[in-house]
Structure 1
Amino acid sequence: MKAVVKMSILNRLHDVFAENCQWTCRFFSIHGSTVHVMFLNNVADDELLSEGILRPLQKLDVHAVEQLTPDLLLGQLPLKKGELSHDLDQICHKLMLGWSYVWIQDCSEGLLMCTAAHHERTLSKAEIESDEYGPQVAFVEELSTNLALLYKLLPDSKLCVSSLEMGNVSKTVVNIVYLKEYANEDQVALLRSRISSLQHINGMLDSLKLAQLLDDNVATLFPTMLHTERPDRVCQGLLANKIALFVDGSPFAVLCPVTIYEFFHAGSDMYQRWIVGVLLRLLRMSAIIASVFVTSIYVAAITFHYQVIPPELLKTLIESHSKVPFPPILEALMLEVMIELLRESSIRMPSKVGQTMGVVGGIVIGQAAVEAGFVSNILLMIVALGTLSSFVVSNFAMGNSLQIIRFPLIVLAGTWGGIGIVVGASFIIIHLARQTSLGVPYLQPMNMLDSKTDEHSVLRMIWKLMKREKSSYRIRKPKEDFAE
C-alpha cells in the first residue's frame, strides 16, 4: 500500500504535465531500484542535466551502500542547488523554472536539483538614462545579475536584501534592498506589508507595475517612486536613506521614498564639475517650466492679453494668425495632439524607422499644416520648443505627466486667460503638496544649495562641502488604504 501511495505522486505529475510537450521522464535501474528523472525540455539546461544528473547516475557506485536513498544522491550529484521535497505544488513550480526532480521508487520524498537554463542578455550601456560620464552598465532582466552589480559598487555587510514572492501564477521574486542603519526601518516594514497584501494578484511581470500598486495615492498623475536602469543611481539612493525594489525579469529598479526634485536630476550631474552641474540643472529646470507653460501662455496672450505684447511682435503674430480659421485654443490643442501622435507612433515603430518618421513626419506635417492654414508658423515654433524642452526629463513617467498637464492648462488659458493659468498652476501645486512617497512629503522643503546632501538640492553643491551622505526625511504618516 505504501508503494502505491508513492507511485501516485509520480502519476499525478504525469497528469499535471500530460498536455505539455516539453515534459520528459527518464528512468534508470540502479542497484535494484528504479530512479526517475523528470524535467522540461528547453527549460532545463541540457549540459547541466547531462553532466550534473544523468551521467553521474549512470556512473554511480552504490555497491558500497546497502540502500539507494535521496540523501545519498544529494551528496553524490555535482550540482550546487538541491533540496529534498515531497510537496506536489513545490515540485511543479520548480519544474516550470527549469529544475529537475529525481525520485527513487518507494521513497517518501524526491530530490529537486537546479538545472535551470539562464537565458540572459549580456550587460550593455543604459539606453534610456544614457550619460556621457559615470558607469555605463545598465541592469538586465536577471535578478541575480542586478544584485551582483550592486554588490560590486557597495561591498558592505550593511547591504540587506529581503526576498518576497508575488503572483499566484507568476510567483515572481521581489527583492527589497536597503542599507542597514541608513534606511528607515518603519518604511521597510511598510513596504513588506504592502507587498504581502498584494498576494491576490495573478502576475507581477515588471517593477513599474509594482511601483504603481505600492503608491501612497494611486489617483495621482505624478509618479511617487523613481524608476532607474543605472546601478550607480541606485547606490547613490541607498546611501541617501532610500529603499530599492527589484523584480525578477525587469531591467528597472524602483527607488523610494523620493521627492519631485529628484526626477529632474541626471546621473551625470554628480560627475561633472560643480559649475557645469549647476548650469545644467538651471537649464533643465527652465526647460521643464517652459514645456508646461509656454503654449498656454501664448494662447492666453493672443486671446486676452494682446495689450502686453510689444507692437512689433503683435503685428507679426496678427499676420501669422490671420490665415488660420480656428481660434488660438483650438489651434494649439490640434497642434499638440498632432505632436503627441508623432511621438507615440515613433515610439511604437522599430527604432530606425521610428527616428526617421519622427523627424521627417514632424517637418513634412508641420510645413503642410502651416501652408494649408490650419496652424500659424509662430505657434508651430512655440509647440516645437515646448516639446523639445520636455525631452530634458530623463524619467519617462514624469515626462508623460508633464505632457498631459499641458492640455488642461491650454484649455484654462483659452477660457480665462492668465487667471486660468494661475488657477491651473495653483491646483497643481496644491495637489503635489498633498502627495507623499512612503510617508515623505512630495514637496519636501529643500534648499537651493544643500551642503549636506544632493537629493533635495536644485543646484549642485561642491563635493567637499557635502558633509555627509545620509539625509533625514520628514516623514508624514501615509494612508493605510492605498489599494486601487
Structure 2
Amino acid sequence: MPNLNEQTRLHFLSGSFEEKIRIVQNIFQQSGDFEYRELMVNETKCVMFFIKTRIDEGKLNDFIMGNLLGPPGKQDYTKSLSSLETGDLTLIIDSIIAGSIAFLDENSSQVKLFSVGQPPLRSISEPSSENVIAGAHDGFVESLDTNIYLLRSHLNDRQLAVKYHKVGTKSETNIAIVYISDIANKENVDEVTRRINSIKVDTIISPGSIIEAIEDNSFSIFPQLIDTERPDKVRSSILEGRIVVLMDGSPMAILLPVTFFSFFQSPDDYNNRWIPATFIRMLRYLACVIAVILPSFYIAVIGFHYEVVPDELATTMKNSIIGIPFPPLIEAMLMEVTIELIREAGIRLPKPIGQTIGIVGGLVIGDAVVQAGLISNVLVIVVAVTAVASFVLPSFEMTSTIRMLRFPLMFMASMFGFIGISFGLSIILMNLCRLESLGVPYLSPLAPFNWQDLKDTVVRLPMWMYKLRPVYLNPQKKKQIEELRGWKNKDEK
C-alpha cells in the first residue's frame, strides 16, 4: 500500500467524485479482496468501498437491501447504521481495513463510514493454560475491543483509563495501555507510554515482541513482565496500581511492574481461605527449590558427598549405580533432555495424542533405560519428581526459567559438588538482586525490605489485613480497604 503523503490527502479532499474513487482504488490496487460498488440512491450516483474479508456479509446485505435499494424517494442510508463523516483519507483507509464501509456520493465532499465489521471469531472461554478451581471462568480473546469489554465488565470504575497507540509501520497494530488514573503511578504510566512509542518496527508479531522491547533487561533469564489471559487477574493487578498492555490480535495481557513473588501468585489463592492458600503457596516455593536443586543435589551426593545421607540410603544409591556405564552428570543430562523432548512432543501433537505420548512415553522410556542398565532407578525417581515440581508454578514464563536453571547447576555440581551448587545459587541470587521491572526492585519487598508488603509474598494473610496497596508500586492512593470486618467492631461495642 503506498504511503499517504500530505499531497495525496489534500488532493483527495479537494478532488472531484471520480478523482476520489480513483485515489482509493489506487491505494488498494494490490488487494484482491477489496471491492467497490456503484449505486443510484435517490437519482444520485454513489459508491461503496470495503474489504470483503473484513466485513459481516449479513450487515452489508441489510445495509444495501433495507436502505439503499428501497422504493424511490425513500432510500436513506443515514438511518441504517451509526456512521462517521470525514474527509481525512488516512482515517478512511484505516476504517476500511478495520471492517467499515466507506460511502461516497457525488454531491458530498465527505465520506461516510459505516461499521459492518465481523464479530469476534472465537467465543469467550476459560484459558486452558491458566485453569482455576474457583473464581471467574472467562478469558481474553483475539479482539482488542472484546478484551476491553471484558475488563470493563469486571471493573466498573469511571477512572479506568484506556490509551490507544499504533505500533508497526506496516501492520499498524492497535495497542492499549490500561490503568486506573487515580491509582497508578503517573511516572510509571509515562515510562510505559514512552517505551511503547519508541518501538519502530515494520510489524509486531506477538506480545512477546512487546515484552522484549519494553522490559528492563532482555539478557536476564528471569521474566520481568507477566502475560496472562485472565481478566480477573488483570483486574486485581490494576487495582493494586499496575499497568496493563493489551494488543489487538492476541489474548495475552501484559502486566507491569511485577516482582519475583508475583509469578507464584494465582487467582485461586484469593478464592480460598487464607490458611490453605498459604499452604499451597509455600508448596509452590518448595517445588521451585526442588525443580532447581534436586538433580544437581543428586549428582553432588553421588560424586562427592556420600556422607550427607544415611547409611541405608547411601547403600541403596550405591547399589543402583553399579554397572551404570555413564557418570552421574551424563545420566542426569540424558534423562532431563528426554523429559524435555517428551514434554515438547506432548505440546505440539494433537491433544488426545499428546497426552498419550506424555504418559506412555515417560513410562516406557523410564522402564526401558532402567532395565537396560543405562540409568539408575534412583535417578529416574529424581528426574520424575523434578519434572512434576517444575509444573506446580502457575506462571509458564517462570516455569521455563526454572527448567533451564537446573542445567548449569548440574554442571557446577559435577565439578565442585555442594560448593559448585552454592556458587551457582549465589550467581542466581546476585542476578535477582540486580533486576528491576519498570524501576521496581525485582525482589521487593525482601530487598529492599518492607514488612508491610510481606503479607502477600511467601504467605497469604487474611484479606482484611490488606488495607494498603503494595508500597513498591508507589500508587497515588495508598489505602485500598477502609473496613472489611466492620460487623465485628459493631458487635464489640
Alignment CA distance shift 1:472-1:52 (3 Å): farther
Residue equivalent to 1:312: 312
Residue equivalent to 1:420: 420
Matched ranges for 1:82-481 at <5 A: 82-87=84-89, 89-105=90-106, 107-198=108-199, 200-446=200-446, 456-468=456-468, 470-473=469-472
Aligned 8 A contact 1:168 1:203 in 2? yes
TM superposition shift of 1:236? 1.0
Return the letter of the residue paired with 2:351.
S
Aligned 8 A contact 2:124 2:141 in 1? yes
Q: TM-score, normalised by structure 2?
A: 0.88
Alignment CA distance shift 1:54-1:38 (3 Å): farther
Structure 2: distance between partners of 1:337 and 1:14: 56
Aligned 8 A contact 1:179 1:238 in 2? yes
- Choose which of 58, 65, 73 in structure 2 pairs with 1:47: 58
Alignment CA distance shift 1:278-1:292 (3 Å): same
Alignment CA distance shift 1:109-1:474 (3 Å): closer
Matched position secondary structure for 1:473 = helix
Aligned 8 A contact 1:229 1:251 in 2? yes
Percent sequence identity is 33
Deviation larger for 299-308 or 143-152 = 143-152
Structure 2: distance between partners of 1:366 and 1:98: 54
Q: TM-score, normalised by structure 1?
A: 0.90
Return the letter of the residue paired with 1:426.
S
TM superposition shift of 1:80? 2.1
TM superposition shift of 1:56? 1.5
Alignment CA distance shift 1:351-1:368 (3 Å): same
- The answer to whether residue 30 in structure 2 is matched with residue 30 in structure 1 is no
Deviation larger for 225-234 or 5-14 = 5-14
Return the letter of the residue paired with 2:39.
F
Aligned 8 A contact 1:205 1:249 in 2? no
TM superposition shift of 1:388? 0.3
Q: Deviations over 1:53-88 (max 9, x none)?
A: 55312338769xxxx9xxx96xx242124231341x
Matched position secondary structure for 2:472 = coil
Aligned 8 A contact 1:45 1:117 in 2? yes
- The answer to whether residue 18 in structure 2 is matched with residue 7 in structure 1 is yes
Q: Which runs of 5 or more residues in structure 1 are unaligned?
A: 476-484
Residue equivalent to 2:80: 78
Alignment CA distance shift 1:81-1:436 (3 Å): farther
Deviation larger for 52-61 or 126-135 = 52-61
TM superposition shift of 1:337? 0.6
Q: Deviations over 1:425-466 (max 9, x none)?
A: 00001011111111000011249x998567852101012222
Structure 1: distance between partners of 2:24 and 2:106: 14
Alignment CA distance shift 1:438-1:203 (3 Å): same
Alignment CA distance shift 1:455-1:49 (3 Å): farther
Residue equivalent to 2:4: none
- Choose which of 16, 32, 48 in structure 2 pairs with 1:21: 32
Q: Deviations over 1:148-199 (max 9, x none)?
A: 222222211121111111112221111111112211000000011111011x
Structure 2: distance between partners of 1:16 and 1:224: 42
Structure 2: distance between partners of 1:60 and 1:450: 74
Structure 2: distance between partners of 1:239 and 1:119: 27
Matched position secondary structure for 1:139 = coil
Matched position secondary structure for 2:193 = helix
Aligned 8 A contact 2:127 2:138 in 1? yes
Deviation larger for 209-218 or 406-415 = 209-218
Aligned 8 A contact 1:172 1:205 in 2? no
TM superposition shift of 1:30? 3.2
Count, aligned residues: 462
Structure 2: distance between partners of 1:305 and 1:155: 60
Matched position secondary structure for 1:374 = coil
Alignment CA distance shift 1:38-1:454 (3 Å): farther
Structure 1: distance between partners of 2:15 and 2:273: 75
